[in-house]
Chains A and B, each alone.
Chain A
Amino acid sequence: MREYLLPKKGYRVVFVLGKGGVGKTTTSASISVALAERGYKTLVVSLDPAHNLGDVFRTKLGDKPKKILENLYASELDMEKLIRGYLEHLEKTLKHTYRYLTVINLEKYFEVLKYSPGIEEYATLEAIREILEDGDEWDVIVFDTPPTGLTLRVLALPKISLIWTDKLIEIRRKILEKRAAVSNIKGPLRFRVGDEEVELPTEEEKDEVMKELKRYRKEIEFVERVITDPEKTSVIAVMNPEALPLYETIRIRDTLKRFRIPFRLIVINKVIEVSAEVPELKIRLRAQMEVLKRLKEEFPGLDVVKIPMFAEEPRGIEWLRRIGGMILGD
Chain B
Amino acid sequence: MVKRILEDIRSFLRGVEESLREQSTEYIEFELRELENVFALLLMGSFVGLPSPPSTLTMRLLPLMTRELYVMQRRAEEMDDILGELAGLFDIT
Chain A residues near B (Cβ < 8 Å): 87, 90, 93-94, 96-98, 103-106, 109-110, 112-113, 116-119, 122, 125-126, 157, 160-161, 164-165, 167-168, 171-172, 174-175, 178-179, 181-182, 185-186, 191, 193, 198, 200, 208-209, 212-213, 216
Contact = CB atoms under 8 A, between A and B. Distances in A.
A166 to B, nearest CB: 11
A178 B35 CA distance: 9
A43 B62 CA distance: 35
20 contacts: A90-B62, A90-B63, A98-B63, A109-B44, A109-B62, A113-B59, A116-B58, A118-B52, A118-B55, A122-B54, A125-B56, A165-B54, A167-B42, A168-B42, A168-B53, A171-B42, A182-B25, A186-B21, A209-B61, A212-B61
Interface string B38-57: 11001110110000111111
Contact of A168 (B25, B43, B59, B70): B43
Contacts of B65: 209
B63 A93 contact: yes
Interface of B: 21, 24-25, 28-29, 31-32, 35-36, 38-39, 42-44, 46-47, 52-70, 73
Given A90-B63, A193-B66, 16 more contacts: A94-B63, A98-B63, A104-B70, A109-B44, A113-B62, A118-B55, A125-B56, A161-B53, A171-B35, A175-B32, A178-B29, A178-B31, A185-B21, A191-B67, A212-B60, A216-B57
A213 B61 contact: yes
Contacts of A122: 54-56
A96 B62 CA distance: 12
Tell me which of A125, A168, A193 has the highest count of chain B C-beta atoms within 10 A of its own C-beta.
A168
A95 B46 CA distance: 21
Contacts of B58: 113, 116
A209 B43 CA distance: 12
A220 B42 CA distance: 19
A103 B31 CA distance: 24
A122 B21 CA distance: 47
A118 B31 CA distance: 32
Given A164-B54, A181-B28, A109 B73 contact: no
A113 B52 CA distance: 11
Contacts of B61: 209, 212-213
3 smallest CB-CB distances across A and B, nearest first, come from A178-B32, A164-B53, A97-B63
Contact of B54 (A161, A171, A178): A161
Contact of B39 (A109, A168, A185): A168
A111 to B, nearest CB: 11
Contacts of A93: 63
A165 B28 CA distance: 25
A175 B60 contact: no
Given A97-B63, A109-B47, A182-B32, A104 B69 contact: yes
Contacts of A179: 32
